[in-house]
């Protein structure tokens, strides 16, 4: 039903998210983190159905653990500098970056095998800046 009066809508800061970790994975601090198709945090990898979350703020080792047995803090909503697989050039500015692994992005989806990370907002000697 549509509003008929003002609503005090709750707000949550989302710059740092705490996300349950997928089963049997290890996430390194500073790594590119994704949400799996089931919504659990995992290291970035070449796969479809992943959602880019951002950068891990801590190391979490859930090897041997069930999905959700551990949680990881992820910084979200900022531009992070990831490694360039060699295919990202100035021509890709403001286009999607695609996840290669937990520290590298590419300019293309490799024939539909990579998930998008976010939008490329800079390319320099350090790597590819993705927001």
Start-to-end Cα distance in the chain:
35
Q: What is the pTM of this model?
A: 0.91
The span from the CA of 36 to the CA of 21, in Å, is: 10
Please report the sign of the dihedral spanned by the C-alpha atoms of residue 122, residue 75, residue 58, residue 46. Answer: negative
Please report the sign of the dihedral spanned by the C-alpha atoms of residue 113, residue 123, residue 15, residue 71. Answer: positive
Query: Tell me, what DSSP letter sits at residue 54?
Result: E
Q: pLDDT by residue (tens digit) across 49-71?
A: 999 999 999 999 999 999 999 99
Q: Give me 79's structure tokens.
A: 């531009």
Percentage of residues of the chain with pLDDT beyond 90: 97
Q: pLDDT by residue (tens digit) across 71-85?
A: 999 999 999 999 999
């Amino acid at each position: 039903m549509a509003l008929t009066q003002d609503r005090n809508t709750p707000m949550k800061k989302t710059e740092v998210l705490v996300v349950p970790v997928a089963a049997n994975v290890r996430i390194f601090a500073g790594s590119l983190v994704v949400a799996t198709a089931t919504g659990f945090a995992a290291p970035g990898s070449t796969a479809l159905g992943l959602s880019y979350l951002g950068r891990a703020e801590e190391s979490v080792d859930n090897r041997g653990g069930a999905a959700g047995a551990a949680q990881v803090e992820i910084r979200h909503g900022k531009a992070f500098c990831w490694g360039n697989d060699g295919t990202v050039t100035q021509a890709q500015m403001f286009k999607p970056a695609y996840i290669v692994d937990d520290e590298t992005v590419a300019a293309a989806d490799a024939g539909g095998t990579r998930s998008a990370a976010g939008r490329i907002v800079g390319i320099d000697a350090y790597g590819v800046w993705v927001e």
